[in-house]
Structures are given as C-alpha cells and as structure tokens.
Structure 1
C-alpha cells in the first residue's frame, strides 16, 4: 500500500483556489462590496441599501450567467460575432426593465430615490451591458490562459518525448561501436580485454541508470568519456595519440545533457583514425568560464576524400544538433571546421547554472 503524503497548508490552499466556484464567489463578493461603497452615502438606511443591492445583484447575476452559459457559447464561441452582440443587447434590454420595476417597487417609501431611478434608466442599461461585456472579457481571458497552459504542457511533453527518442538513438549507436571494439580484441586474444570489459560495464551502468535524466553532473560525463577514450586507446595502441584535458577540480554545480559529447568522439575516431593515417590523434579540451562551457575536439584527417563527413554527420551528429536546439535554444554555438589535415569542433554552451 502506498503511503499518503500529507498536504501542507499551501497545497490545500491552491487545491481550493483552483476551483471555479470559488473564483465566482470571490468576484461577486468583491462586486457587492464595491457597489455598497459607492451607493451607501448616508442618506438612506443601510437595510434599504442592502435590499436594493441584493435585487441588483440578482438580476446582474442572471444576466451574466445567461451570457456565460448560453449566449457566449452559442454565438461568440462559434464566431458569430454579429449575432452575439444582438443577443447580448437583447438580454440586457430584457433583464434591465425587470430590475428597474423591482427596484421602483422597493423604493415605494423613498420618492427621491424613485425619481432618481426613472431619471437614470439609461445609465442602468449601459451599466448592465458593461458588466455583461466585462464577464465576456474575463471568460475570453481565462480561456486564452487555459489554452496557453495546455499548449505549454504539450510543448513540454513533446520536448521530453523528442529528447527521449534522440537519446534512444544515441545509445544503440554507441553500443554498436563499442561491441565492435570488444570483438576485435577478442579475436586478437588481447590481455587488455578484461580492462575493456570493466570499463564497458561502468559505461553501461551510466547509460542504463543515469542517462534518463535531463541533465547530469559534468564529472560523470567526463568519467564516461575517459572510459570511452581508454577503450579506444586499447584498440589503437601506439598508433593514436589520445588526450583529454579539463580543469581540476571541476565545479560541482556544472551539469550537461547526458551523452551530449559522445557523437563528436565517435566521429573523431571513425574519421580521424584509419589505415591511411600512420599517426592519428584525437585531442579533447573542456574549459569553464563563468556561465559558459567550451568543448573543443580536434582529430587527424585522412588525405583520402570521403565527402563532408562531419557536415553530413549521420545519426549521432544530426541528433546532437537537434538536442542542442531543444535544450539550448539561442544559447549555444557549434562550429565545425576542416582543413587539409584535420577536423575541429568548437561547442559553446551558455546556461544560468554554469
């Protein structure tokens, strides 16, 4: 049986505040107090003022809810604007005379009040129509806010789904490359195979249990890259110069999306170390500057033409571009440069947490 978490007073408050009837009650109380302040000027007794305001409130509420429950959904919601204004005017001209008749009858003992009522009938019509229009504006504003909230929720869910999909593509892609490395060492019956298995185990643990988070500590991502680079060093041996430099100690507050840098490493080893390169290299550097994280990777390049490998990118690089657009909109810079002997990637991330 799941334990029930007790609600604090703030949670209980918001649960009640979110109920529509409470908004209506508070608005009508506010409206009644405002009208009481305006109308009770001392010349009439308080019971008389409360009675007339009660009658006014009854008819105004009838007009407002007629508008909200029937006229507005039937006409304005269907974009029949002309018919809506005709029906709203008709409702006002129907309700207001009934209100005036009841008020005139209640004012039987107050001749001055009756004369004032008859003299200002047009003001009552205009005021009631204003209240009806105000209720329409509030309803439209509330509906707009509701739609915006739904839109934001959908965008958030779509973003999370897309990021999960992108990471699901990255993981099998990298795992495939790593298993190829293990297969190559197994064929050679290398003594380095046990070390590869241990490092691969650490990497799989990271991928399975920690990569589901939106952000992870930079230290864990670096540990993952160190294991990756160690596996590649085992594979290539003295043929490759592999180096990773980063500031020590690392700030604990720095976080990055999981597996964000791996596609760059995969491309660097895939295209930077080949049989046509006698002494290849992959150099990686991380720098932290206040709110910026700079990632730089440079690798050797074969003289054999293979097309624009980095610019095409394949699954890994195209995914990382999309992830950057989703997670760092207008807060990242990605530059991919090429010269006759090398490729270089410069990535700058800007975020408040950094």
Structure 2
C-alpha cells in the first residue's frame, strides 16, 4: 500500500507522467465510447483521431508558452512553422489512407478538412496556455500581496508593544517620585501585560476572551495608578467560548488613549465608560472619556504620541478591509469612540 501511494505521489510530482496519464485516459474513454456504440471497425481510426487532436492541442500549448516567455526567435519560429506543416500534411495523408485507402487521390480533399481542424485545436491549446498563465499570475500576485500584508502587519504590531511600554514606564516613573508604595503592584501588572503582548499576539486572530482579559489587566493597572480619582463604568459582556475571534492589540489602544487624555486635565476626577457586546456576528466596542476642551487634540496622528492610534487604524484597514466601522467624535467635554468589528 505504501509503495502504491509512493508511486502515485511520484506520478503527480512529475508533469510528464501527469500529461501522459491524461492523454491515455482521454484516448481510452473515447475508444470505449466507440466500442460501446457498436462501431468496432473504426476503433483504431478513433484512437488515431484522438491522438491527432491531442497533438494539435499540445502544439498550441507549446506555441502559447513560447509566446508568453517571448522566446519566439527566428530558429523557433522556423521550427514552429515546420511542426505545423508536418502536423497538417501528416494528418491529411493519414486521413486519406485510413478512410479512403488512396493518399494521392484524396490527399487534397482531406487537407481542406484537416487544416481548419488543426488550426482550431492549436488555438485551443494556445488559449489553455494563456489562461493557465493568467491564473498563475493572479495567484502569484495574490501570494505576494498577502506576504506584503503579513510583513506590514507584523511591523505595525511590533511597533505597538514598544509604544505601550514607553508610555507605561513614563507613568511608573512619575508615580515612583511621589507614591513609591504603588510601584511593586504596577510592575507586577506590567509584567502580565507584557507577557500577553509578547507571547500571545503572534496569531492574526485570537479568541475575544483573551483580548478582554488583557484589557481587564490594563484597567487594573490604571486603577492602581489613579486611585480614587478614577470614575470607571464597565459594561463588558463575558464570552468564554473561543469561536469569537478578533485581531489582537486593537482595543487596548483606544482604552490607553482614553486613560491618557482623561487624566491630563485639571479636574478632580477622570471619567471613563467602556462597553463591549457581540451582536449578530459583530463585536461592538464603545468607549467614552472626559477630556479638557482646548487642550491637546486626542485624535492627533501626526505627533509621536499618536503612533499607537495611527498604526491601529492602519491595521484595521489591512486586516478587516470593509468589515469594520470606526467613528470618533467629541462633544461637551466627552470624547466618544465606537468601533465595530466583524467577528472571525
């Protein structure tokens, strides 16, 4: 059994064996149809006709491949014309001999029949070669585009982690100057966050529950930093199953921005409301935060601090295409972001 499987595998790997198997199968099926119809006298003629049709088709396929590779030089052009003449004249002579038994008398009559048939199947072979090349080019371009997309996504994702780490270490440094007792807890939470961003975000899509756990760890981290000043409203649906999947490290950027800009005010309290639900195959994420009107724009993509949001929007376009909705607006001291993602 293993020997047979090995033989079949080698045959499939060899293009010549595949083409030979196809030709033999074509001739066998056509001849069998003639035998079953009761025309036993023309079985040999039918087999030769099949071989003639296949020869014309493969010659046309060779013509097409030569044209695609631009290898039509005077030598190969002469060879092409010679092959065509041999094919047409040989088929005309063969048909006169097989069907009439007199080549000299019926050669010209069969030539007028074989010439258009030869041209037809040669053009059919050329069409096959061109169509196959067109499909191969489309597949090749799609693979190249996919590899480019994956490399760009990996680059964007690799830049998000240092950006997040930079912001977080700045916050810890500020707290260490005035509230040293909070630093150990913050470092412990930071290690959990970094473990996720380094080891669990290598897949293009991850279970939604994993991303939500990461968000909760980050929110706990911010609770430790901001203490009683933080007024937080959470309405996040629990999803234990793995069938709902989203791209990693998308939601955290919006949560991080909300904390960043709500705390950068002179108000005694900072307010943030986060909600997430899944409806009809869509992950609906909304976040609102207080901010100080007239301060630095929260949706600033030009300055270095906006790298996380800029890369996230770029990742959304690359991963989801038309299968996401993003809207950000500010009104009466409240910044509101709505993001809808098609669940995978």
TM-score (structure 1 length as normaliser) = 0.81
Match of 2:170 in 1: 180
Q: Does 1:310 align with 2:332?
A: no
Once residues 277 and 14 of structure 1 are traced to their aligned partners in structure 2, the CA distance between those partners, rounded to angstroms, is: 73
Match of 1:29 in 2: 24
Match of 2:323 in 1: 331
Query: Which residue, 276, 288, 295 being the options, matches 1:298?
Result: 288
- Give 1:57 deviation, angstroms: 5.6
- Listed one character per residue, the Cα deviations across residues 237-264 of structure 1 (whole Å, up to 9, x for unaligned) are 2222133321135443222211111211
Q: Does 1:98 align with 2:76?
A: no
- Listed one character per residue, the Cα deviations across residues 99-146 of structure 1 (whole Å, up to 9, x for unaligned) are 332454566xx6499977764432211111111111111111111121
Match of 2:142 in 1: 152
Query: Which residue, 187, 191, 202 being the options, matches 2:192?
Result: 202
Match of 2:275 in 1: 285
1:293/1:339 Cα in 2 relative to 1: closer, same or farther (>3 Å)?
Answer: same
1:75/1:194 Cα in 2 relative to 1: closer, same or farther (>3 Å)?
Answer: closer
Q: Does 1:253 align with 2:243?
A: yes
- Give 1:339 deviation, angstroms: 1.1
**Would the aligned equivalents of 1:55 and 1:103 in 2 still touch at CA under 8 Å?**
no
Query: Which residue, 324, 330, 333 being the options, matches 1:341?
Result: 333
List runs of 5+ in structure 2 lacking aligned partners: none
Match of 1:212 in 2: 202
Once residues 240 and 217 of structure 1 are traced to their aligned partners in structure 2, the CA distance between those partners, rounded to angstroms, is: 29
Query: Which residue, 116, 126, 133 being the options, matches 2:123?
Result: 133
Once residues 91 and 16 of structure 1 are traced to their aligned partners in structure 2, the CA distance between those partners, rounded to angstroms, is: 28
- Give 1:79 deviation, angstroms: 11
Residues 225-240 of structure 1 correspond to what in structure 2 (within 5 A)?
Answer: 225-240=215-230
- Give 1:37 deviation, angstroms: 6.1
**Would the aligned equivalents of 2:206 and 2:245 in 1 still touch at CA under 8 Å?**
yes
Once residues 269 and 287 of structure 1 are traced to their aligned partners in structure 2, the CA distance between those partners, rounded to angstroms, is: 21
1:13/1:247 Cα in 2 relative to 1: closer, same or farther (>3 Å)?
Answer: farther
Give the secondary structure class of the aligned counterpart of 2:330: strand
- Give 1:277 deviation, angstroms: 2.5
Match of 1:266 in 2: 256
After superposition, the CA RMSD in angstroms is 3.6
Deviates more, 1:285-294 or 1:269-278: 269-278
- Give 1:88 deviation, angstroms: 6.8
- Give 1:192 deviation, angstroms: 2.5
Once residues 44 and 116 of structure 1 are traced to their aligned partners in structure 2, the CA distance between those partners, rounded to angstroms, is: 24
- Give 1:214 deviation, angstroms: 1.1
TM-score (structure 2 length as normaliser) = 0.83
1:116/1:318 Cα in 2 relative to 1: closer, same or farther (>3 Å)?
Answer: same
**Would the aligned equivalents of 1:59 and 1:96 in 2 still touch at CA under 8 Å?**
no
- Give 1:155 deviation, angstroms: 1.6
Once residues 66 and 213 of structure 2 are traced to their aligned partners in structure 1, the CA distance between those partners, rounded to angstroms, is: 62
- Work out the number of aligned pairs and report it: 336
